[in-house]
């Protein structure tokens, strides 16, 4: 599919992503995904407000030369441009929450693609496995815990044990 054809599609949910000419629909979130996303959104929003920066959920991010991806959560550090025209630009931090119908390998590849195209840090959260992985300048899928953090964002800390305690028993 061409970029023009993709951009002409009506918006739908779950969102569509367009990467290197291929359209992929995001998975339908389940309850654990929603709980994790809400928790992380609250943490990220509080951090963004303290830093006078911006955070958002499920934004079509434009990656020049490749297309659009829709991370579950994003954060733009202070001074980082949010958009060019109507296209959201790569954030400083992208967070992916794996849904049961998405393979861990595909989500790791998405994190690597975002890192290779301007995202400083990507976190991959897997509610079912109760695990988190970090992708940044020195880590490529390294497990995190018990605290999820990145040197690029001093003071942004996610207590994974607290996060996992919010999930229903499996």
Residue 17 pLDDT exceeds 80: yes
Q: Domain 27-165 class?
A: alpha beta
Task: Give me the residue spans of the domains in the chain.
Answer: 27-165
Give the per-residue pLDDT at 168: 93
What does the pLDDT look like over 39-55, one tens digit per residue? 999 999 999 999 999 99
Q: What is the Cα–Cα distance from 108 to 112, expressed in whole angstroms?
A: 6
* Cα three-residue angle 16-22-54, rounded to 5 degrees: 45
Q: What is the dihedral of CA 114, 29, 145, 154, to 10 degrees?
A: 50
* Average pLDDT rounded to a whole number, residues 29-36: 95
- Is the predicted pLDDT of residue 170 greater than 80, yes or no? no
pLDDT surpassing 90 at residue 106: yes
Encode 3-57 in three state secondary structure.
HHHHHHCCCCCCCEEEECCEEEECCCCCHHHHHHHHHHHHHHHHHHHHHCCEEEE
Segment 117-128 mean pLDDT: 98
């Amino acid at each position: 599919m061409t970029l023009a054809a993709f951009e002409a599609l009506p918006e739908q949910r779950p969102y569509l992503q367009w990467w290197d000419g291929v359209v992929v629909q995001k998975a339908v979130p389940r309850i654990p995904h929603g709980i994790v996303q809400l928790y992380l959104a609250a943490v990220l929003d509080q951090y963004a407000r303290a830093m006078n920066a911006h955070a958002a959920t499920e934004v079509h991010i434009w990656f020049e030369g490749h297309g659009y991806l829709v991370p579950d959560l994003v954060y733009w550090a202070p001074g980082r441009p949010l958009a060019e025209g109507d296209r959201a630009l790569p954030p400083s931090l992208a967070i992916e929450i794996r849904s049961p119908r998405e393979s861990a390998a595909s989500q790791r590849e998405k994190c690597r693609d975002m890192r290779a195209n301007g995202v400083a840090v990507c976190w991959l959260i897997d509610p079912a496995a109760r695990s988190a992985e970090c992708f940044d300048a020195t880590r490529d899928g390294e497990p995190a815990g018990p605290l999820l953090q990145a040197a690029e964002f001093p003071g942004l800390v996610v207590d994974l044990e607290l996060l996992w305690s919010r999930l229903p028993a499996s």
